[in-house]
Amino acid sequence: MKQLTLFKSSLIALALASSSASFAQSFAITHATVHTVTEQGVLENATVVVENGKVIAINPETINADSIIDAKGKVLTPGLIGSMNQLGLVEVSAVSRSRDASDKKANITFDASLAFNPRSTVIPYSRKGGITSNVVAPRGGDDMFKGQTFVADLSGEFDSVRMNNNSVVIDLGAKSKGSRALSLQNLQFKFEDAVKELAKANKKTTNTKDQKEAKEPSREAQVINALLAGEKALVAYADRATDLLALLKMKEQFSLDLVLVGAADAVLIADKIADAKVPVVMTALDNLPGSFDALHVSLENAAKLTQAGVSVALTVNGDTHKLYQLRFHVGNAIANGLSRDTALASVTANVAKAFNLDSGTIAVGKTADLVLWSADPFELSTKVSQMWINGQEYSTHSRQDALRDRYTTPSDMPKAYIK
């Protein structure tokens, strides 16, 4: 019995050692056209070395790695980053029991990451579009605050949520019932009241007699305080110029970390948004007004905002299953005036900066989310040749591929199974 126990212990130790060695394995990608999305720009015939999930060297004098991958001149970019969608929260939009992105009672504390499904069939399908990580946004409920975003990689692993409660989502603008003014007023009052409460709390902590009376803020108040401290970004859906200006005023008054989403009228006040250093998350394909708040949408808006100095992050609106198409949307933005370098940044570095992510560029010390492309990533016929998430290679094989193989491969199975 003792020998059996020792044998089992040895096997466990060997397995742990093998697992550790596998994770620690390093590799180098050589002869690649590396789009760093940094000041280094594009590096021809370059080498990138990865170890323990991080980029540890670019163009080292000597290559010290466990394995070498010859890119043969192919394009290497940071993994694309999706944003402001419900990936992993919605499996089939028409099936209510597969939707976890919203709840009528959801408020500013709503943490939808608790329902994230890393085994969603949409995730490997999205990997086919070169997407390695994603900022997931809840849809919330009746409250103007829709909850908090979280960040997940597209590895499909059960520990793929990298960061929860990342930023606070709020929906402002036109209302089917009531006035937009009340939402803006309530938001202003919440920040003003929170500032007063913080001042009172600070006063109490300096007075030893009142220290015992100081109460811990409510969960809602803690989130508001985090916004005021700049620890969380306020991610605001708004389109009309007057709403955007009101948000810019609050940013200045309360020193908020603000991100605008949608922002159809942003082109009218692009200089003010640029001066305030506020990023804009938008789609590249809107060219017709969807409401009276969005009369200034245009296929050229991404290019116009960028030219004005605004940091633009491109996203895909609509159904979560469309995330795969992100690179095609970027290609359309390029066709309408956005430079290729800026276009790549709009789905990598700009997203990472807006949501405080440790990815989006190919630089020493950054997370090794990398994609090797067969050609220009924004061309329709280009495919992902290889993909690494956290330094681990992942396949782009999806349910769609399995279905294609099932129905096109000759088989002895009954006709109902294969046709």
The DSSP line for 70-117 is E-TT-EEEEPEEEEEE-TTTBS-TT-GGGB-SB-TT--TT-BGGGG--
Residue 324: C-alpha distances to residues 90, 211, 308 (Å) = 15, 54, 29
**What would the DSSP string read from start to end of 322-351?**
GGGGHHHHHHHHHHTT--HHHHHHTTTHHH
pLDDT-based confidence at 419, cuts 50/70/90?
Answer: low
Supply the CATH number for residue 188's domain. 3.20.20.140
The rounded distance, in Å, linking the Cα atoms of 188 and 192 is 6
228-242, 338-352, 394-408: the lowest-pLDDT one: 394-408
Structure tokens belonging to residue 203? 């006063």
Range of the domain at 128: 80-360
The rounded distance, in Å, linking the Cα atoms of 127 and 384 is 9
Does any domain span residue 12?
Answer: no
The rounded distance, in Å, linking the Cα atoms of 327 and 126 is 11
pLDDT-based confidence at 319, cuts 50/70/90?
Answer: confident
pLDDT value at 340 more than 80: yes
Does any domain span residue 28?
Answer: no
Does any domain span residue 205?
Answer: yes
Nearest 5°: CA angle at 229, between 101 and 362? 70
The rounded distance, in Å, linking the Cα atoms of 332 and 319 is 19
Q: How many domains does the chain have?
A: 1
Structure tokens belonging to residue 169? 């989502």
Does any domain span residue 137?
Answer: yes
The mean per-residue pLDDT over the stretch 249-261 comes to 98
pLDDT in tens, 129-143: 999 999 999 999 999
pLDDT in tens, 16-50: 433 333 445 899 999 999 999 999 999 999 999 99
Q: Do residues 75 and 377 make contact, with C-beta atoms less than 8 angstroms apart?
A: yes
pLDDT in tens, 172-190: 999 999 999 999 999 999 9
Does any domain span residue 387?
Answer: no
Does any domain span residue 373?
Answer: no
Nearest to 280 by CA among 298, 299, 305: 305
pLDDT-based confidence at 4, cuts 50/70/90?
Answer: very low
The rounded distance, in Å, linking the Cα atoms of 133 and 154 is 5
